[in-house]
Structure 1
Amino acid sequence: MVGASVFVFVIDGSPFRAEVWIAYKESSWMNALVWILLVICFQSIALCAYVVRESFYLSPEQPSFLILFNKNGRNLMLSDPLLIEDDDV
């Protein structure tokens, strides 16, 4: 498994595609296309801007890992009692 991961990383670059993640996150295909083109052209700077933009959509009491999910995924994650922080622990 490690060998396959190293092979993919060397041959194809990072196996974690920011473009696919942005397509999952955006509700409009037009917004997704614009952000994907920005990430392809400007790489890390555009991705950093995208993450900062997405962090503004979170309320102060929401955990930062919710940036990884789209709006439907955020609602699902917050409704799961196993993922809600408990003060008794």
Structure 2
Amino acid sequence: MAIPLAAVLRTLFFVLGSVMVVTLIYTISIDGLPFRRELLTPWMAATLVDFYINVVPLAAWTSYKESNSISAIIWIILLVCFGRDGMQQKRQNSPVVVARIAFSILGCLMLGTLIYTIVTDRSPFRKDLLTPWMDATLVDFYINVVCISVWVAYKESSWISSFLWITFLICFGSVATCAYIFVQLLQLTSQDPLYLVLLNKDDRSENRYERT
């Protein structure tokens, strides 16, 4: 008997959430709280920028999913702190165009951060950078990557394109996230509601048909 995909995803995210909670508790127990100036090395700062840029699309998805603004704000705060169309369309300022510009800027910001950090602090592949809180931040970051990868797998029509984009996400973090979202936004017209970017091609076409 085949296991429903929803059940698999529920189990996956329950396990990932549990891993992150255990990681946080363990890191605090051996290394104290993270609010210490000496922890903010150049590569830790770059990793945090990468992490919070990836939080942006997750926060946007949360805003779309929640039925009221209060619960959406609470979940977004939790996303930021712990790893109905609120995109209502205005004629003079298309949300799709604004989103394209926003994710272009975020992608360029992360790319600039990476280049600057490599120039000023050399390669990140050094043992001395792997402090307990850097390890915890990386676990947190890649759990976010798993969330975005599930969305990419849903969006893409072939396993090959899904694999390539997910590999790109793993290797390049939020630079890849911004690039992917920008590509998806290019498939929308400026008159489309912004939430359509969340849907794959078939569901998007069906949604447009129902609205006409």
Same fold (TM over 0.5): yes
Q: Are residues 1:73 and 2:192 paired? A: no
* Contiguous gaps of at least 5 residues in structure 1: 85-89
> 1:61 Cα deviation (Å)?
1.4
Q: Deviations over 1:8-40 (max 9, x none)?
A: 653574477111110110111111100000111
> In 2, distance between residues paired with 1:47 and 1:9?
21
Q: Does 1:31 align with 2:42?
A: no
Mapped to 1, the partners of 2:171 and 2:206 lie a distance apart of 33
SS at match of 2:184: helix
Alignment RMSD, CA only? 2.6
Q: Who wins on radius of gyration, i.e. which is larger?
A: 2
Counterpart of 2:185 in structure 1: which amino acid? S
**Matches for 1:2-41 after TM superposition, within 5 Å:** 7=18, 9-11=20-22, 13=140, 14=143, 17-41=147-171
Structure 1 residue 64, shift from structure 2 partner: 1.5
Instruction: Look up the match of 2:178.
Output: 48
- Whole-Å Cα distance in 1 between the matches of residues 202 and 19 of structure 2? 31
Structure ranking higher in helix proportion = 2
Distance in 2, Cα, partners of 1:7 & 1:33: 26
Cα distance change of structure 1 residues 9 and 62 upon mapping to structure 2, 3 Å threshold: farther
2:176 is paired with a residue of what secondary structure? Answer: helix
Amino acid at match of 1:17: C
Tell me by how many angstroms 1:49 deviates. Answer: 0.4
TM norm structure 2: 0.33
Residue 166 of structure 2: SS of its match in structure 1?
helix
Superposition pairs for residues 52-67 of structure 1, below 5 Å?
52-67=182-197
Q: CA 1:74 to 1:45, structure 2 compared with 1: closer, same or farther past 3 Å? A: same
Give the Å deviation of 1:60: 1.8
Q: 1:87 — aligned with what? A: none
What is the letter of the counterpart of residue 201 of structure 2? Answer: K
Give the letter for the 1:31 counterpart: S
TM-score by length of 1: 0.72
